[in-house]
Copies of this chain bind each other. A is one copy, B any other.
Amino acid sequence: MSKSGLLAAAALCALAAVSSAPVLADASDAQVNAVIDEGLNRSEAMTTASALMDGIGPRLTNSENYRRAADWAVARFQSMGLQNVHREGFDFGLGWNVDSYRATMIAPRRIEMTVMPVAWSPPTNGTLRAPIIIAPVGNPGRFELWKQEWKGKLAGKIVLTSLPGTTQEPTKPLFRRLDDKEIGEADKFDLPSFDPAAMDRRVKRVTYPLDLSRFLKDEGALAQVKISYRDGKLVHGEGYNYRPGETLALPAFELAAEDYRRLVRLAKTGPASEIELSLAARFDDSTLQAQNLFGDIVGSDPKAGYVMAGGHFDSWIAGDGAADNGAGSAVVMEAARILSRLGVKPRRTIRFALWAGEEQGLLGSRAYIEQHLATRPVDPKLGGIAAYAAWANAWPITPKAGYNDLKAYFNLDNGGGKVRGIYAENNIAAEPMLKKWLSPFDGMGASRVVTSKTGGTDHVFMQAIGLPGYQFIQDPLDYDSRVHHSNLDTLDHMRGDDLRQAATIMAAMLLQAANSDKDLPRQPLPTKPVPTDPFKVTDPDE
């Protein structure tokens, strides 16, 4: 070995010694470097993700699998040395567990079809075998006319209720990363808008599947079959948005588009096919509560409040719930591991939250808000999307004692793609601090702060009551094109490099927010807006 080689080896040993002992320097830049070292050189993001997705699998809220995953996550939080590790229950409703399912065309020939049961479908009690009938409803606004047309014709049949549509021609790449131009397009102030009728229509649309299911059952149909909205043999088991205390009336299945369309074509030219359907599923009323999960790194200043990282821990039923949102859950857990391992002593408490019920209307994060942050006057008997709609538009907002304690919330729920920056959610006053905190990650492509508001996940109700809830910009990968809620949502479509980058940045953002001299600027407490277009006349069929 040459002399320079020896020197290099000595330097490596010194580095190793530094790395193995937690770094507790006060200097923020050194702490960020320690986070980067731990997060990138000793990442456990993918092993955590694999334990969750491969070992446990999909985690429908209040299913046995969700509770199994919750036990595992609580044990992980405890083994990291987090404090105040606990669960907080909230009213949810029946659990639903699926054991096995299958769909086979029997006549005119045998085909193993690709299928998912629709979540909260009753079981078939063995194998159903019956001829199909093609009775597509089309626009839900036509439902009353459709009922008149099909009344008395569906008994003993398996009813195909979707229009077959036509095959997609995927002329854009399925997998992509954002370029600067695309990120730049999100850097705009979104004018607030308020259209009271729009939410009413949305509520009506999502209650329609239950009405349809009940009609089919009353008519003596044996099962309902709908088409996947994506082709390429992707299935999801979507089609019913859970309402507390209710379930679909009739076994319901989502068939791969190719299999569904073949049935429709065969029915056009010959006698309708006979198919076999089976679903072994169990409703579970042993508990009607769902569980949010928490762990803290307690801050040194009890009056400084807390910062929080979160992602929803529940998933949909297809695949293993990886991109949505095993990825975000694994990132939150890995950020907790990084900061625990480094033994940081932040000024503010750092809280790690794993939410339930997101897929049913952000119910877990809403429950946390109602328990700790603020209330809105909402009928507690409403559930699902109706509860969502009501909560987002109920006035006034009444802050609770904890309202001022939450200084920053960082959410991750846009799949497994690496972090590219953060949305400022129209809070232009917060942008300078967010920029400063992200600036160390410019070289990782993650430093952009854009003004736009975003929706659809657990920071939304915090923003809706004026609290600093933020969501990261992430590379989309193949989230929207094929992975989201589909049977492809497995760990295979995660990228280890992306997960460890995201976890590292999440940890660093938490640490900076927890130690910051100043709180993130807030927007004023929201008050009831006037309708954006007071002269709007709504199309009743819309």
Residues of A in contact with B (beta carbons under 8 Å apart): 47, 50-51, 54-57, 65, 99-102, 104, 108-112, 114, 167-176, 231-234, 257-258, 261-262, 265-266, 269-270, 319-320, 477-478, 482, 487-488, 490-493
Contact = CB atoms under 8 A, between A and B. Distances in A.
Given A56-B109, A233-B234, A262-B490, A269 B50 contact: yes
Contact of A51 (B111, B262, B269, B482): B269
Contacts of A175: 168-171
A25 B112 CA distance: 51
Contacts of A108: 55
Given A170-B175, A173-B171, A490 B57 contact: no
Among A101, A102, A492: residue with most chain B CB under 10 A: A492
Nearest to A46: B265
Contacts of A102: 102, 112
B233 A493 contact: no
B173 A478 contact: no
Contact of A492 (B261, B488, B491): B261
A172 B173 contact: yes
A488 B266 contact: no
Nearest to A261: B492
Given A99-B110, A102-B102, A269-B51, A488 B171 contact: no
Contact of A269 (B55, B114, B167, B169): B55
Among A111, A265, A320: residue with most chain B CB under 10 A: A265
6 contacts: A54-B262, A174-B174, A233-B488, A261-B491, A262-B320, A265-B491
B257 A492 contact: yes
Nearest to A235: B233
Given A257-B492, A266-B55, A487 B173 contact: no
A368 to B, nearest CB: 29
Given A50-B269, A233-B234, A491-B262, A173 B170 contact: yes
Nearest to A320: B262
Contacts of A110: 99-100
A234 B114 CA distance: 11
Given A55-B269, A65-B109, A257-B492, 20 more contacts: A47-B269, A50-B265, A50-B269, A54-B262, A56-B109, A57-B109, A99-B110, A100-B104, A102-B102, A169-B478, A170-B174, A170-B478, A171-B176, A232-B482, A233-B488, A258-B488, A261-B492, A262-B320, A262-B491, A262-B492
Contacts of A109: 55-57, 65
A114 B256 CA distance: 13
A174 B232 CA distance: 11
A396 B409 CA distance: 80
Nearest to A99: B110
A453 B172 CA distance: 30
A225 B110 CA distance: 23
B111 A114 contact: no
Contacts of A112: 100-102
Among A55, A65, A261: residue with most chain B CB under 10 A: A55
A232 B262 contact: no
B265 A54 contact: yes
A160 B170 CA distance: 33
A322 B232 CA distance: 14
A111 B172 contact: no
A267 to B, nearest CB: 10
A521 to B, nearest CB: 39
Contacts of A269: 47, 50-51, 54-55
Nearest to A174: B170
Contacts of A477: 169
Contacts of A111: 57
A487 B258 CA distance: 9
